[in-house]
Protein backbone atom coordinates (compact mmCIF):
# COMPACT_ATOMS: atom_id res chain seq x y z
CA UNK A 1 0.00 0.00 0.00
CA UNK A 2 1.50 3.32 -1.07
CA UNK A 3 1.49 6.32 1.27
CA UNK A 4 -1.27 8.12 -0.61
CA UNK A 5 -3.40 4.97 -0.34
CA UNK A 6 -2.78 4.88 3.41
CA UNK A 7 -4.22 8.40 3.63
CA UNK A 8 -7.19 7.27 1.48
CA UNK A 9 -7.95 4.43 3.87
CA UNK A 10 -7.18 5.89 7.30
CA UNK A 11 -9.91 7.34 9.47
CA UNK A 12 -10.38 11.11 9.60
CA UNK A 13 -9.69 10.90 13.34
CA UNK A 14 -6.22 9.44 12.79
CA UNK A 15 -5.50 11.93 9.99
CA UNK A 16 -6.48 14.70 12.41
CA UNK A 17 -4.14 13.25 15.05
CA UNK A 18 -1.28 13.17 12.56
CA UNK A 19 -1.83 16.75 11.39
CA UNK A 20 -2.26 17.99 14.95
CA UNK A 21 1.03 16.38 15.98
CA UNK A 22 2.83 17.87 12.99
CA UNK A 23 1.30 21.31 13.66
CA UNK A 24 2.58 21.25 17.25
CA UNK A 25 5.89 19.42 16.93
CA UNK A 26 7.02 19.65 13.31
CA UNK A 27 5.53 22.86 12.00
CA UNK A 28 8.11 23.41 9.19
CA UNK A 29 7.43 19.91 7.82
CA UNK A 30 3.67 20.49 7.74
CA UNK A 31 4.07 23.99 6.30
CA UNK A 32 6.26 22.67 3.46
CA UNK A 33 3.73 19.92 2.72
CA UNK A 34 0.87 22.41 2.67
CA UNK A 35 2.86 24.57 0.25
CA UNK A 36 3.49 21.59 -2.03
CA UNK A 37 -0.13 20.45 -1.94
CA UNK A 38 -1.42 23.96 -2.57
CA UNK A 39 0.94 24.32 -5.54
CA UNK A 40 -0.46 21.10 -7.02
CA UNK A 41 -3.90 22.71 -7.04
CA UNK A 42 -2.72 26.17 -8.13
CA UNK A 43 -3.64 27.61 -4.74
CA UNK A 44 -1.77 29.80 -2.33
CA UNK A 45 -0.74 28.01 0.86
CA UNK A 46 -2.42 30.68 2.96
CA UNK A 47 -5.75 29.48 1.54
CA UNK A 48 -5.19 26.13 3.26
CA UNK A 49 -3.51 27.49 6.39
CA UNK A 50 -6.44 29.81 7.18
CA UNK A 51 -9.05 27.07 7.03
CA UNK A 52 -10.57 26.10 10.38
CA UNK A 53 -8.71 23.05 11.77
CA UNK A 54 -11.48 20.57 10.93
CA UNK A 55 -11.78 21.79 7.33
CA UNK A 56 -7.99 21.87 6.97
CA UNK A 57 -7.76 18.25 8.13
CA UNK A 58 -10.37 17.16 5.58
CA UNK A 59 -8.64 19.12 2.80
CA UNK A 60 -5.18 17.78 3.70
CA UNK A 61 -6.32 14.17 3.91
CA UNK A 62 -8.09 14.49 0.57
CA UNK A 63 -5.06 16.12 -1.07
CA UNK A 64 -2.65 13.54 0.35
CA UNK A 65 -4.90 10.74 -0.94
CA UNK A 66 -4.06 11.61 -4.53
CA UNK A 67 -1.38 9.59 -6.35
CA UNK A 68 0.49 12.76 -7.29
CA UNK A 69 0.93 13.46 -3.57
CA UNK A 70 2.52 10.13 -2.67
CA UNK A 71 5.96 11.59 -1.91
CA UNK A 72 4.50 14.27 0.36
CA UNK A 73 2.25 11.69 2.03
CA UNK A 74 5.26 9.44 2.69
CA UNK A 75 7.22 12.34 4.13
CA UNK A 76 4.42 13.30 6.54
CA UNK A 77 3.88 9.69 7.62
CA UNK A 78 7.60 9.30 8.29
CA UNK A 79 7.71 12.54 10.32
CA UNK A 80 4.75 11.38 12.43
CA UNK A 81 6.01 7.83 12.87
CA UNK A 82 9.58 8.83 13.75
CA UNK A 83 8.31 11.49 16.13
CA UNK A 84 5.02 10.60 17.80
CA UNK A 85 5.24 6.84 17.28
CA UNK A 86 8.91 6.18 18.04
CA UNK A 87 8.13 3.81 20.97
CA UNK A 88 6.04 1.63 18.64
CA UNK A 89 8.85 1.48 16.08
CA UNK A 90 11.36 0.54 18.79
CA UNK A 91 9.01 -2.13 20.19
CA UNK A 92 8.71 -3.79 16.77
CA UNK A 93 12.47 -3.85 16.23
CA UNK A 94 13.08 -5.15 19.75
CA UNK A 95 10.44 -7.86 19.46
CA UNK A 96 11.95 -9.29 16.28
CA UNK A 97 15.50 -9.01 17.61
CA UNK A 98 16.84 -6.22 15.40
CA UNK A 99 19.54 -4.07 16.98
CA UNK A 100 18.75 -0.37 16.81
CA UNK A 101 20.08 2.97 17.97
CA UNK A 102 18.52 4.66 20.98
CA UNK A 103 16.25 6.70 18.70
CA UNK A 104 15.02 3.61 16.84
CA UNK A 105 17.11 3.90 13.71
CA UNK A 106 18.71 0.88 12.07
CA UNK A 107 21.91 1.18 10.06
CA UNK A 108 21.14 -1.76 7.74
CA UNK A 109 17.81 -3.51 7.84
CA UNK A 110 18.37 -7.28 7.87
CA UNK A 111 16.45 -9.87 5.92
CA UNK A 112 12.94 -10.54 7.17
CA UNK A 113 12.42 -12.36 10.42
CA UNK A 114 10.31 -15.54 10.18
CA UNK A 115 6.58 -15.02 9.69
CA UNK A 116 5.80 -16.55 13.09
CA UNK A 117 8.06 -14.06 14.86
CA UNK A 118 6.54 -11.16 12.91
CA UNK A 119 3.01 -12.36 13.72
CA UNK A 120 3.86 -12.47 17.41
CA UNK A 121 5.38 -8.97 17.21
CA UNK A 122 2.28 -7.61 15.46
CA UNK A 123 0.03 -9.05 18.16
CA UNK A 124 2.18 -7.43 20.85
CA UNK A 125 1.98 -4.06 19.07
CA UNK A 126 -1.81 -4.26 18.72
CA UNK A 127 -2.16 -5.10 22.40
CA UNK A 128 -0.11 -2.02 23.34
CA UNK A 129 -1.04 0.59 20.68
CA UNK A 130 -4.17 1.57 18.72
CA UNK A 131 -4.70 -0.97 15.94
CA UNK A 132 -5.11 1.67 13.24
CA UNK A 133 -1.81 3.35 14.16
CA UNK A 134 -0.09 -0.07 14.08
CA UNK A 135 -1.65 -0.78 10.68
CA UNK A 136 -0.50 2.57 9.28
CA UNK A 137 3.02 1.98 10.59
CA UNK A 138 3.30 -1.53 9.21
CA UNK A 139 1.87 -0.59 5.80
CA UNK A 140 4.27 2.38 5.60
CA UNK A 141 7.19 0.21 6.77
CA UNK A 142 6.37 -2.44 4.18
CA UNK A 143 6.19 0.16 1.40
CA UNK A 144 9.36 2.04 2.28
CA UNK A 145 11.98 2.23 -0.42
CA UNK A 146 14.61 -0.21 0.66
CA UNK A 147 16.85 -2.80 -0.83
CA UNK A 148 15.49 -5.24 1.74
CA UNK A 149 11.88 -6.37 1.56
CA UNK A 150 9.99 -8.47 4.06
CA UNK A 151 7.59 -10.70 2.08
CA UNK A 152 6.23 -12.33 5.29
CA UNK A 153 5.12 -8.88 6.49
CA UNK A 154 3.22 -8.41 3.24
CA UNK A 155 1.46 -11.72 3.84
CA UNK A 156 0.54 -10.70 7.39
CA UNK A 157 -0.79 -7.33 6.19
CA UNK A 158 -2.97 -9.10 3.63
CA UNK A 159 -4.24 -11.81 6.02
CA UNK A 160 -4.68 -10.10 9.40
CA UNK A 161 -8.03 -8.29 9.62
CA UNK A 162 -6.72 -6.12 12.47
CA UNK A 163 -4.32 -4.50 9.99
CA UNK A 164 -6.86 -3.68 7.32
CA UNK A 165 -7.34 0.06 6.85
CA UNK A 166 -10.66 1.53 5.77
CA UNK A 167 -12.87 -1.24 7.17
CA UNK A 168 -13.50 0.20 10.62
Tens of pLDDT along 36-66?
A: 999 999 999 999 999 999 999 999 999 999 9
Q: What angle do CA 128, 61, 44 make, to 5 degrees?
A: 140
Identify whether 168 is part of a domain.
no
The Cβ of residue 134 has, within 10 Å, a number of other Cβ atoms equal to: 23
Domain's final residue, options 42, 57, 83? 83
CB of 80 closer than 8 Å to CB of 18 = yes
Q: What is the pLDDT of residue 154?
A: 94
Taking only the tens place, the pLDDT of each residue in 79-121 is 999 999 999 999 999 999 999 998 888 888 889 999 999 999 9
- Whether 97 and 159 share a structural domain: yes
Residues 151 and 93 in one domain: yes
Per-residue DSSP letter, 162: G
Counting the structural domains of the chain, the total is 2
* pTM attached to this predicted model: 0.92
Interacting residues of 22 by C-beta distance below 8 A, sequence separation 6+: 29, 30, 33, 76, 79, 80
> Mind giving me the DSSP string for 98-131?
----TTS--SS--SPPPHHHHHHHHHHHHHHS-H
Residue 75 lies in domain:
3-83
Residue 91 shares a structural domain with residue 79: no
Residue 116: inside a domain: yes
Where among 64, 83, 102 does a domain terminate? 83
Q: Is the pLDDT of residue 168 over 60?
A: no
Q: Is residue 138 domain-resident? A: yes
| Euclidean distance between CA atoms 63 and 38, whole angstroms | 9
Amino acid sequence: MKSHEIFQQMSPALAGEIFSYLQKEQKPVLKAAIQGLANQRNLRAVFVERKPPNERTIWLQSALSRKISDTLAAHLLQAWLLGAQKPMLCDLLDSVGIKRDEDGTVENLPESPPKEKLTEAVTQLIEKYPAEAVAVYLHAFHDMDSEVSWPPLGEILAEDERLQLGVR
